[in-house]
Amino acid sequence: MQLRDMNSIDTVACVGAGVIGGGWAAYFLAKGLRVRVWDPSPDAADKLTRLIDNAWPALTELGLAPGADATAWTVHTDLAEALDGVGFVQESAPEVLEMKQRLLADIAAAAPADAVIASSTSGYGMTEMAVETPDVGAARLVVGHPFNPPYLIPLVEVVGGERTDVAAVEWAARWYDEIGKSVIRMDREVPGFIANRLQEALWREALHMVESGEATVEQIDRSITDGPGLRWPLQGPMLTFHLAGGEGGMAHMLDHFGPSLKSPWTRLDAPELTRELRDDVVAGCDEEAAGRSITDLVRARDASIIAVRKAVAAVRETYPTPGEQDGAR
Ligand SMILES: NC(=O)c1ccc[n+]([C@@H]2O[C@H](COP(=O)([O-])OP(=O)(O)OC[C@H]3O[C@@H](n4cnc5c(N)ncnc54)[C@H](O)[C@@H]3O)[C@@H](O)[C@H]2O)c1
């Protein structure tokens, strides 16, 4: 299969420009690319302007590519016009399977034949999303799962579906790497990929605790930000536990605490998301926000992600991981 020479790409498309698609647009712009946007919402351009304005100071602090221009984007009312000649497409429409199935088929029909098309889906596999796309288009469809905000969180999980050509998966992994992302390339479809599967386990337990009155929303958040979350930017949960095993490392950890995994405090069935639980969680978040707007919270979040990334990058220089490239971290 013939795929675009990535060095020749100067324009990409974002299909769907909400929280994630808009965040991708801001990131691509910061990398010096031009962005074409297709989004059916009448206020898509206004929302995107606000999102890029909010993101640009953070992106500037992390370093813009030469020629990066926060205004180098256009919103189109016609999908084919938005995709005309682009070198890459990032789809970030709502997480509704039937919508993605139709949309990906439309994108594959309209995009240049050598452009890889990635979906930001949080959990659907490409095999099920590609069912309406003929083989020739399905070969170029991959999942490129980002994290919010995509303009600051480096990780992208890349995986194809049953009909995706392995060359397209490789191309996407290399493309994200080239534009500064930290890429996990998965060789099989796993519901929720890796990071969402882990996040969902935490989220499920958090909802159990709110539902049963065991913890408030604020206590749950503080338990991570002032607890294990402080260790995770440098060492993930596995290496963290390796150290928690003392000189015996992970082996001691598993022998010592493994049996407790079956104890009642891990209840991995999902709680019923009742109206009451929903309202309790929403009220807890409002209380924790203490009058700060979403924009205030986004600014604080972005500043702290940048601070953590810079601090961790400095620590990594002093204590490099053998064999690890600098990469996007
Ligand atoms: N929000 C997150 O934290 C997060 C993280 C990773 C991945 N994702 C995934 O990214 C995707 C987008 O999520 P979001 O949070 O940005 O949602 P969102 O609601 O903020 O944005 C969705 C955008 O898609 C537009 N849209 C509606 N119908 C469309 C269509 N037919 N074609 C194209 N665009 C359409 C909407 O107008 C809106 O601007 C989803 O697949 C979601 O699972 C979200």
Q: Do 180 and 274 share a domain, yes or no?
A: no
Q: Do 47 and 129 share a domain, yes or no?
A: yes
What is the reported pLDDT for 113? 97
Q: Do 179 and 235 share a domain, yes or no?
A: no
Q: How far apart are CA 22 and CA 38, in angstroms?
A: 11
**CATH number where 212 lies:** 1.10.1040.10
Q: How far apart are CA 221 and CA 13, in angstroms?
A: 36
User: How many domains in the chain?
Assistant: 2
Q: Do 181 and 204 share a domain, yes or no?
A: no
What is the reported pLDDT for 265? 59
What is the reported pLDDT for 327? 47
Residue 15 belongs to domain spanning: 6-185
Q: Do 95 and 157 share a domain, yes or no?
A: yes
Residue 207 lies in a domain: yes
What is the reported pLDDT for 268? 66
Query: For atom 33 of ligand 1, which residue has the closest CA?
Result: 16
Q: How far is the CA of 281 from the centre of ligand 1 (A)?
A: 22
Q: Do 19 and 53 share a domain, yes or no?
A: yes
Q: Do 19 and 134 share a domain, yes or no?
A: yes
Residue 321 lies in a domain: no
What is the reported pLDDT for 266? 59
What is the reported pLDDT for 210? 94
H or E segment to which residue 143 belongs: strand 141-145
Q: How far is the CA of 16 from the centre of ligand 1 (A)?
A: 6
> If the chain, 329 residues long, is cut into consecutive pieces of 10 residues, what is the mean pLDDT of each piece?
95 97 98 98 96 95 96 96 98 98 98 98 96 97 97 97 98 98 94 89 92 95 92 87 83 82 66 84 86 88 91 89 62
Q: Is the CB of 93 under 6 A from ligand 1?
A: yes
Residue 62 lies in a domain: yes
What is the Cα gyration radius of the chain? Answer: 21
What is the reported pLDDT for 242? 87
The half-sphere exposure of 325 on its side-chain side, counting CA atoms within 13 A, is 8
What is the reported pLDDT for 259? 78
Q: Do 163 and 219 share a domain, yes or no?
A: no
Q: Do 70 and 176 share a domain, yes or no?
A: yes
Q: Is the CB of 98 under 6 A from ligand 1?
A: no
Q: Do 177 and 254 share a domain, yes or no?
A: no
Q: How far is the CA of 298 from the centre of ligand 1 (A)?
A: 18
Q: How many residues are present in the chain?
A: 329
Measured from the Cα of 146, ligand 1's closest atom is: 6
Q: How far is the CA of 94 from the centre of ligand 1 (A)?
A: 4
